[in-house]
Amino acid sequence: MKALIIDDEDLARSVVREHLAAHPDVEVVGECANGFEALKAAAEHHPDLVFLDIQMPKLDGFEVLELLEAEGKRPAVVFVTAYDQHAMRAFESHAVDYLLKPFSKERFDAALAKARALQAAQPAAPAPSATDLAAAARQGKPLERIVVKDGPKVTVVHLDRLDWIQAQDDYVLLRTEGRSLLKQQTLASLESQLDPNRFIRIHRSYILNLDRLVRVEQDSKEHRDAVLRDGTTLPISRAGYQRLRTLWEGA
């Protein structure tokens, strides 16, 4: 069994390595200090199991997992974190294991055994997606940034730099600072994770960053357009206009 240890702290990685030494059938194929290294190592070694820290610079643990998924890889995951334990409790319903730092040998062995069992059983139900896990751990707080794999490159889009989002079949097109990025996700699933006071579904195919809206133009009785700061116009559906109005009237 091939394992990857991902944590930005040397000492934190060494604890996991030390505990793994007692399990000779598990081979540590790499240690990574950040998400980018992790993606590279995963592409190279195809690990069966990853020990994944959550709070890391640039890319957090959920984003690393999400990007691995985007490449069609889904190794067994044990989250290793000093993260809020209430957030971690949300994982219990998702059959994902976690270790709260610091942890005992017994607890570590139990997590490893569970990961092995899950991998051996090839469960009928697919593993929960990384975005679902991240949403559960956020405990209702909206998303702050989106990671996109753009060929070999990974781009992190901070939401205050996101202008609007367009649905394109199974993909969403993210428009940010004059660039367009494609990400495999449905508009509805993305919408459910955004702050509804900042991002409005103005149309079946569009979500708008409210901050970019300058005015609403009415072409005909039934047709309205949103005019954005950079001059772009996006269509507003009748339901979208209703949502905008509720927001304005509520404010």
Partner 1 sequence: MHPLLANRARLGAYLLGWAPIALLLMGIARTQNWSWAEGAALALPLCLIAAFLFLSAWFLCRALPLGQRVETLGSHGAAWGLAAVLMGSIWAGLAWLLARVLAWIPGLGALPRHVDIALPVLTGLGILLYLASVALSYLMLAQERALEAERKGAELQILAQESELKALRAQLNPHFLFNSLNSLSALTAVDPARAREMCVLLSDFLRRSLGLGERRQVALREELDLARAYLAIEQIRFGTRLKLDWRIDPATEPALLPTLLLQPLVENAIKHGIAALPEGGTLAVAAEVVEGHVLLRVDNPLDADAPVPQGLGLGLRQVRQRLLGRFGNRARFEATAQDGLHRVTLVFPLEMEP
Footprint of partner 1 (CB under 8 A): 8-12, 14-15, 18, 33-34, 36, 55, 57-58, 82-83, 100-103, 156, 158, 160-161
Nearby residues of 12 by Cβ (< 8 Å), 6 or more positions away:
53, 80, 101
Shortest CB 57 distance to partner 1, Å:
5
Show the tokens assigned to 250: 């509520």
- Closer of 141 and 223 to partner 1 (Cβ): 141
Shortest CB 206 distance to partner 1, Å:
23
| Distance (Å, whole) CA 26 – CA 45 | 13
Show the tokens assigned to 240: 């979208």
Residue 75: cis peptide before it, omega within 30 degrees of 0: no
- Closer of 100 and 227 to partner 1 (Cβ): 100
- Closer of 161 and 238 to partner 1 (Cβ): 161
Shortest CB 156 distance to partner 1, Å:
6
DSSP conformation class of 88: H
Shortest CB 14 distance to partner 1, Å:
5
- Closer of 79 and 83 to partner 1 (Cβ): 83
Long-range CB contact pairs, 175-181, < 8 A, 24+: 181/148, 181/150, 181/155, 181/157
- Closer of 18 and 44 to partner 1 (Cβ): 18
Contact of 175 with 164, CB cutoff 8 Å: yes
Shortest CB 134 distance to partner 1, Å:
18
